[in-house]
A and B are shown apart, each in its own frame.
Chain A
């Protein structure tokens, strides 16, 4: 999973929303438990904000350069599918947005 080390190159911030106990968030929780260590070790300076809130839809949020954000709902997905979604967020990062600075 070579793309994982590129996470902090394309993303500015990664947010994972999930419910503490909900069934819909179960796979997301497992994903976090299994992958957080690897993701953080490979990208020590990338904020991986895990935000728990009861009853919310599990969701993956990626923030790119200049405040551009994308999100993918995760309910119904299995753990490998979540991994694939994350890869998708990394590989399809928006490119070439010109900075507004002179």
Chain B
């Protein structure tokens, strides 16, 4: 039997055209799968079979990509920046013909399989083929990474060249005649595949990549139908890359995507290639873990099963999963994710393509904290009797809360929305508390007296993708890599692509990018504001200057003075102009932006500050207050999905649902409204958060005027209309300096504190996650 991979289960369309020798023969080429229909000149049964096989494969590949990246994949260009043509956007999905934008004078004409196409100068042969709608098999080529050209799978024939050329590494030249369907190409691909499979083990049935493996798929289409290799296969020692990435290095085909990802995207030089020829291995050279918040992405880019997810090893096969498109809530970036579930269990979380937010990467917390969804869950209402929490029915629980609330003077009530709260539940809670007369509300991460007046003051105005354009950036009181790894990656791109200068005022942290640590004191901030510090010159001479202020600043007593100093710098260095707003306020939590937009802040005349006066405290999944902060005689309601810190102090616990179980609106730190969708059913007797508050309002006699999800959203439209525009970014216009009130207060000289102590454990879900606990143990404070 041939030594080759088999796809399990075999999804091949089979029919009986009868030419027999190839297993993939003959899907009827319909229009939806007809990527290869432009392929001309098929002569004889073998190449006809090859062509229809390629067409079928391109169709399947399109579906796989759609599955991998969501149906939006076709809409987004892959943003390839190859060969110096940065404005040429090339979609890597070839089945529909890739699109790019370039001026006519920057275009050249080439011919692909007899079809003339116009492509941008500097595009590679492979990209030209994509524009022509011809799919080229590849392993090492990845549009977001530099070109390696070492897998040789993308060989094509170019007229007047003696040998097949690696299309990913060859620039397209005017008049080039590219051929992808000739016997030479077919033989070359078959040969390359045979070499790749020489040392690749035959363990597809037990490989976690099985079913979504590039090697498996491409060997079915381009490989030979029999093997000639009878010698022993080599084996390679597995490497320890930490608790997240499982390695089976024998499966590695040395495409070096992971090495390039680590050095180019993650910014860690930990991975490398060791040895030559048959002894070539990928590894960390010394026993070293790969320390990066983005390390999980190597699992996605690995075309084979060499790097797979360690937490989900052997738990799942890709075809058993139901996929739900959703949004990550572990930080304020709002990365687009796909939640893969089997029955009631979330089995894995992987990124979805969104060029504006997360490209195709997500942080390790977003990817791996899902196991926390199964532990420490609250599944029934509980009440504290004689110091012990006991189960209670929903009506009784709500009645107890309503009675407790009505006994208290409104000025002695407070409500805190937790880090993961969705906009709907915050809207309902705000309306409910307001109707009771309580005005003391805030969202975790904000201070109690945060001003939410102007959106431009608390959003990332340059936008996440726009940060790539900056040429000078000042970070104030933020550890960007830990607070928002994906934003750090954008800044890293700016540093790499246009040598942006980065200055940091705040705790000293390795950012994995070239940055100058200016110091950790407000004196430096003041001296930049006065124009005495050399970095003031750097900022004001920049074309697209940016400032990123971490929202940890809000916890300082002199926050107004700090923000005023930052505003002064912004105005002096021309950071805020008509065509560019580089003033960025980086939020920490998923709930923060929507909470501020909804005005989940204390209303006028609210008693702010003294927590000792609180007699009734409503915690919507909020856990930052320690039991010592909460007065002993206060009645505490904890509504949330995890029995986390503050649940231990609660008098009544109302079980809510997690982000994977509800349709909730979230706004990310740049002001983009996005929605999660329910992937798995709720746990036990838990209820949607806004519904709990709606029911409670009725029992308390202040019935909220909505009882459907659309009703809540219509109410949101009357408060913050931008939250109604899902997947859209409503930009915020800054007010001119003259229109802003003068700020009082002086800078105090205390250093900026860390806003996030441990990247891996920041919210109730990640604190309940075993994987995140292992990461904390392995990486410490990374």
Contacts and interface: CB of A to CB of B under 8 A. Distances in A.
Contact of B434 (A51, A54, A67, A101): A67
Contact of A47 (B409, B455, B604, B736): B604
Given A12-B604, A49-B453, A66 B437 contact: yes
Given A40-B453, A66-B436, 6 more contacts: A36-B741, A47-B604, A52-B730, A66-B437, A99-B410, A102-B406
A102 B701 CA distance: 12
A32 B739 CA distance: 8
Closest 3 CB pairs of A and B: A67-B434, A67-B435, A53-B721
A100 B735 contact: no
Interface string B454-471: 110000000000000000
Interface string B214-240: 000000000000000000000000000
A33 B721 CA distance: 20
Contacts of A50: 453-455
Contacts of A29: 733
Contacts of B718: 61, 69, 71
Main secondary structure of the interface of B (DSSP, over half): loop
Interface string B37-78: 000000000000000000000000000000000000000000
B2 interface: no
A84 interface: no
Contacts of B409: 101
Interface in B690-742: 701-702, 718-722, 724-725, 730-733, 735-736, 738-742
Contacts of B738: 37
A15 B604 contact: no
A49 B452 contact: yes
A9 B735 CA distance: 26
B299 interface: no
A34 B437 contact: no
Interface residues of A, number: 41
Given A101-B406, A101-B410, A33 B604 contact: no
Interface in B728-768: 730-733, 735-736, 738-742
Given A46-B604, A63-B603, A67-B431, A100 B721 contact: no
Contacts of A45: 602, 604-606, 608
B604 A40 contact: no
Contacts of A8: 604-605
Interface of A: 7-9, 11-13, 15, 17, 20, 29, 32-34, 36-37, 40-41, 43-54, 56, 61, 63, 65-67, 69, 71, 99-102
B380 interface: no
B453 A12 contact: no
A23 to B, nearest CB: 15
Given A53-B725, A100-B702, A41 B742 contact: yes
A69 B741 CA distance: 26
A47 B453 contact: yes
A12 B406 CA distance: 20
Contacts of B701: 100
B599 interface: yes
B293 interface: no
A37 B720 CA distance: 22
A45 to B, nearest CB: 5
A84 B735 CA distance: 22
A84 B719 CA distance: 22
Contacts of B455: 50-52
A56 to B, nearest CB: 5
B407 interface: yes
19 contacts: A13-B603, A17-B721, A33-B739, A36-B735, A37-B740, A41-B741, A45-B602, A45-B605, A51-B719, A51-B720, A52-B731, A53-B721, A63-B434, A65-B437, A66-B437, A67-B434, A100-B701, A101-B407, A101-B410
Given A52-B455, A52-B722, A13 B739 contact: no
B713 to A, nearest CB: 14
A86 to B, nearest CB: 15
Nearest to A56: B721
